[in-house]
Amino acid sequence: MAILDRIKAEFDAVAPVFGDAFFPELDARLQVLNRENTAQRQLIEQREDEIARLTSEQRQKDSEVQVLAAQLTEERADFLRLTEESNYLTRELQKNQNLVFDLNYQIQNFKTEKLALEIRSNGELSSSAHEAGNHSASFEAFSKIPEEQETVNIEEDDSKLIAFYLPQFHRIDENSEWWGPGFTEWTNVARATPNFVGHNQPKIPRDLGYYDLTHPNTMREQVEIAKLYGLHGFCFYHYWFSGRRVLETPANLFLESDLDFKFCMCWANENWTRAWDGDTKNVLLEQKYAEGDAEAFIDGMLAYFGDQRYIKIDGAPLLVVYRAKEIPNPQRWFSIWRDRVTAHGFPGLHICVVDFYDISAPEEVGADSLVEFPPHKFNGPQNHPSEFPAITNPNFSGGIVDYRKMIAQSANRLRPSFKMFRAIIPGWDNTARRQNNPTIIVNSTPKLFGEWLRFLRFQARQDHAEPDNRLIFVNAWNEWGEGCYLEPDQQWGLSYLEETLRGKFFHPASEPVGIDAARSRLFDRLVAMTNHGEISSTPIPKEIFLNIRPPGRIAERASAVLRQSPTLHAMARYLYRRLRQKGRGYSG
């Protein structure tokens, strides 16, 4: 009370100063203040209500988060459990796959031993192999083992079979950009369709499936099969464009592996184009042959050359060059290569160039040897079949070649004065890459392939005294997009590989005397093979086989001129296709 009295006294003392208006003014201000206080209290109450609401919502959300966290923990535990189970199943699956492959390998090895036993027991090298639809050679080996036979002297051919190897069965950024996401060679293979009645397309792999060459077991399985059936090594295509490499992974994986198998490299030095044939139009990757490229290229090969498995001739690494005359001044390039290779301790470098129309001897480009590359030089008009199949594709403008005539042309090729390695092809059909204008070989069968290979093995023994020079190239191990492969497929199974192995054994006492006798024997057997269940089974007289000759010098010179002018080359190819169409009675 004392304080209030004091305040009242102070107000009473100053009141006369302000006059009669003081208290009404004070009352008015108090009213304003009260209204503001009331508004503040209401706002505070609203905020408190909002805080209470938000607090309640937060508690609810916290509760929900706790529930979700519990669910997430449970799901994470389930995920880890499933991942562990998946990893376990993957490991078990891999073990089972390895076991299956080991069992298959043992079975094939057992079949191979039985096949060799059949050969040694019967002394027959070519009469008991059967095509698909009949019993395989392995079946015959099981069922025809003689109880008692006179022992014959069977020897083993030491020719070395080297199969060209395509490394395009895996994804690369360049192919995804140019051909579509995820493109591999299998993309082409799967979309092929038949062009005529009886045309076997698409090609479907069997034992190895649609493999990925980046998978660690794929190449191991390929090598096991190749070794089992008598191959010596692979020749990997090497794609190098002024320091830029593509499709290098398979060869590098092989180099890093412990696979006990020989290998060499082939520089595929054509431009990469949308036409798949090295033409100059629509170039995707161009060979520039710039200054310093010769040195850079060969320096990049030294790691391969130094590998103990790399194929060498007289100690010199074997390097195959696809298009030697595409290189400006190839003699200079090859000289640079040899100098750098010898500087790294090798006795030399054996340069082998592919035998195309525009080259007649290795000396023209400074190389050491040529290697055949069928179907090139073996698909001319003299090898067209006598009966053409019934075309079902109205846009077809491709070429068709009879396998039997191709064999005859190969056998009629005389031994040149220079070193040349012969080559063989199990078949050819690049419909997967060129649906409307492919080149297709008809009448190719495993048995015919086996007869051709036996002749080339005999010729290698005749022509090359040194075993290192008895090389026979196979085009190819796995060119599925060109219908050119030894790998087992759904049509023939392992028959081509079985014939490859069968041709490894021979009976010296029954061998022909000289190459002319071997050629005559081959043609007699071709005449006898009149029914293979393929497109045409029309017999071909021996006289026709004898007269199918390799391309002459005029054709070689014309090709050399056309290769120098891409425009003329394209025009000549177009005119040739049109003439083929008219000659067969269909248009495209």
Per cent of the chain over pLDDT 90 is 60
Q: pLDDT digits over 42-62, tens only?
A: 888 888 888 888 888 888 888
Q: Specify the DSSP class assigned to residue 418.
A: S
Alpha carbons 377 and 451: distance in angstroms, whole number: 20
Pairing between strand 423-424 and 478-479?
A: unpaired
Q: What is the C-alpha to C-alpha distance for residues 245 and 230, in angstroms, rounded to an integer?
A: 31
Query: What does the pLDDT read at residue 127?
Result: 38
| Pairwise CA distance, residues 11 & 223, whole Å | 115
Look at residues 365, 305, 290 and name the one whose alpha carbon lies nearest to residue 340. 305
Q: Is the dihedral of CA 488, 494, 496, 498 positive or negative?
A: positive
Contact indicator for 155, 508 with CB cutoff of 8 Å: yes
Comparing 121-125, 180-184, 325-329, 486-490, the range with the smallest average pLDDT is 121-125
Q: What is the mean pLDDT of residues 134-146?
A: 46
Q: Using one digit for the tens of pLDDT, what is the confidence trace for 358-371?
A: 999 999 999 999 99
For 464-565, where are the alpha helices, taking DSSP H only? 495-502, 515-528, 542-546, 553-564
Query: Residue 120 has what pLDDT?
Result: 55
User: Do residues 255 and 303 touch, judged by C-beta distance below 8 A?
Assistant: yes
Lowest-pLDDT choice from 56-60, 79-83, 167-171: 79-83
**Mean pLDDT, the chain, whole residue set:** 85
pLDDT in tens, 257-315: 999 999 999 999 999 998 765 455 689 999 999 999 999 999 999 999 999 999 999 99
pLDDT of 37: 82
Kindly state the percentage of the chain with pLDDT values over 70. Answer: 77
**The pLDDT value given to residue 142:** 46
Q: What is the structure's pLDDT at 425?
A: 98
Query: What topology does CATH give the domain 155-584?
Result: TIM Barrel (3.20.20)
Residue 316 sits at φ, ψ, to 5 deg, of -95, 130
Q: What is the mean pLDDT of residues 7-12?
A: 70
Residue 587: per-residue pLDDT: 38
Amino acid code (one letter) for 368? D
Query: Hey, what are 191's tokens?
Result: 């979309």
Position 133 scores a pLDDT of 43
Between CA 322 and CA 357 the distance in angstroms is 12
Handedness of CA 294, 299, 303, 307 (dihedral sign): positive
Higher pLDDT, 194 or 537: 194
pLDDT at 588: 34
Q: Say if CB 436 and CB 587 are below 8 A apart.
A: no
Residue 137, φ and ψ in degrees, nearest 5? -65, -35
What pLDDT digit, counting tens, does each position of 441-485 carry? 999 999 999 999 999 999 999 999 888 899 999 999 999 999 999
**Token pair of 195, please?**
């062009």
Structure-model confidence comparison of residues 63 and 176, the more confident one? 176
Identify the weakest region by mean pLDDT among 14-28, 242-256, 393-407.
Answer: 14-28
| pLDDT (average), residues 321-326 | 97
Helix (H, G, I), strand (E, B) or coil at 297: helix
Name the residue type at position 284: L
User: For the segment 511-561, what is each residue's pLDDT rounded down to a tens digit?
Assistant: 999 999 999 999 999 998 865 444 456 789 999 999 998 876 655 666 666
Which amino acid, one-letter code, is at 8?
A: K
Average pLDDT over residues 403-413: 97
Tokens of 554: 């005029």
Tell me the C-alpha distance between 252 and 265, whole Å.
12
Q: State residue 354 phi and psi, 5-degree precision.
A: -70, 140
Calpha distance 314→304 (Å, rounded): 17
The residue to which tokens 């790399």 are assigned: 310
How confident is the model at residue 504, as a pLDDT? 94
At 461 the pLDDT is 95
pLDDT score of 537: 63
